[in-house]
Structure 1
Amino acid sequence: MVERINYEQLPQIVGPYVHATKHNQTLYISGLTAYGTHAQSSDICAQTQEILNQVLTILELEKRSRSDIVKVTIFVKDITMLATIRQELFQFYEGNLPACSLVEISQLIHPDLLIEYEAVVAL
């Protein structure tokens, strides 16, 4: 059985998807961005902090910890900006580094957005 979840605490979704789905003891978090938040028109650091706060909100609501993050995919508009957010990511994971794919893309759903982050979490 698949459970589809939208979290009231996160920015509202306007597209044909949900914040996350649960299946077989796994939580799949959709691509999160700073869209619709105070950080939307900010730099990549502020957008990354907003996204990681959204991930923390989901983990708290699901009664999980950062160490339960198994795999992430990070989409960035400029791969050279990775060095700018690398330390934030290391701090966020608290030593529990997940498997990760990093992909440079030409654009996201809004021109202000610089980064999108999706995750798989073990339940």
Structure 2
Amino acid sequence: MTERINYECLPVITGPYVHATKYNKTLFVSGLTAYGTDAQNLDLIRQCEEILSQLNRILEQEKRSKNDLVKLTIFVRDISLLASIREQLFKFYEGYLPACSLVEVSSLVHPDLQIEIEAIVALESSV
């Protein structure tokens, strides 16, 4: 069974999608951005902090830990800030490194946005 979820603790969805979809003991998190938050007009680093906070709220809602992060895909408009992004990610992961892709893009859905992160989360331990 597929379950589509919008989290009240996240910014309101304004497009034709949901925050996440549960399927086969896996949570697929849509691209999270700073859109609709206080960080929307700030730099990439502040937007990254906001997005990681959103992802943390999702993990809390789902009663999962960072160890359950399977894969992140990160889209940035300025790859030259990679060192700062990596620093934030290392802190966020707390040693539980997931698979990850980072791609530089020319633009995102709104001109204010500098970064977008999507995630895949395991909803059941494999042990």
TM-score range, shorter chain: over 0.9
Say yes or no: does 1:20 pair with 2:51.
no
- Cα RMSD, aligned residues only: 0.6
Map 1:53-72; keep pairs closer than 5 Å: 53-72=53-72
Map 1:79-98; keep pairs closer than 5 Å: 79-98=79-98
Specify the alignment match of 1:122 in structure 2: 122
Q: Look up the equivalent residue of 1:3 and give its one-letter code.
A: E
Q: Look up the equivalent residue of 2:29 and give its one-letter code.
A: I
Give the ranges of 4+ consecutive aligned residues of structure 1 lying more than 4 Å apart after TM superposition: none
Q: Look up the equivalent residue of 1:46 and give its one-letter code.
A: R
Specify the alignment match of 1:76 in structure 2: 76
Map 1:25-40; keep pairs closer than 5 Å: 25-40=25-40
Q: Aligned residues: percent identity?
A: 68
Count of equivalent residues: 123
Say yes or no: does 1:102 pair with 2:102.
yes
Mapped partners of 2:28, 2:92: distance in 1: 18
TM-score, structure 1 normalization: 0.98
